[in-house]
Amino acid sequence: MLVFWFLLIALVVVVAAVTLAVVGGGSEAVLPEAEPDRVADALPESRPVVRADIDALRLPVAPRGYRMAEVDDVLERLAAELTERDARIAELTAAAAQNRAQGPGGPVVDLHKEEQQ
């Protein structure tokens, strides 16, 4: 019978301690609020994305995986970059084919990317 009362008192003490830890002791919180994870190194806006940018990119983890909105933003940016590069490649390929068709002495094609305003 003595063991029963000892276990009952120990159980009440543990429940009280857990309750105080959860409630937080009034105006002062036991644990500070945690900042949510966000993309620390976003893709650069001032220049095209390069392989090193993708390798350095770390997406924050949420309780059930990745944050869908942030992953969607990164994928949209990468899709836009790839679309721009594909269009530029198609433009340069067409210009090069046109130059070959005109033969030597035709117009010269500038293969450098135009500066973005």
Q: What is the pLDDT along the chain (117 residues), one digit of tens a residue?
A: 889 999 999 999 999 988 877 776 666 655 566 666 665 557 777 887 777 877 777 777 777 777 778 888 888 888 888 888 889 999 999 988 888 888 766 566 666 666 554
CB 82 within 8 A of CB 54: no
Q: Which residues contact 41 (CB under 8 A, 6 or more apart)?
A: 56, 57, 58
Reference 85, options 59, 113, 106; nearest CA is 113
Contact 60, 37 (CB under 8 A): yes
Burial string for 2-23 (b: 16+ CB within 10 Å, else e) reads eeeeeeeeeeeeeeeeeeeeee
pTM above 0.85, yes or no: no
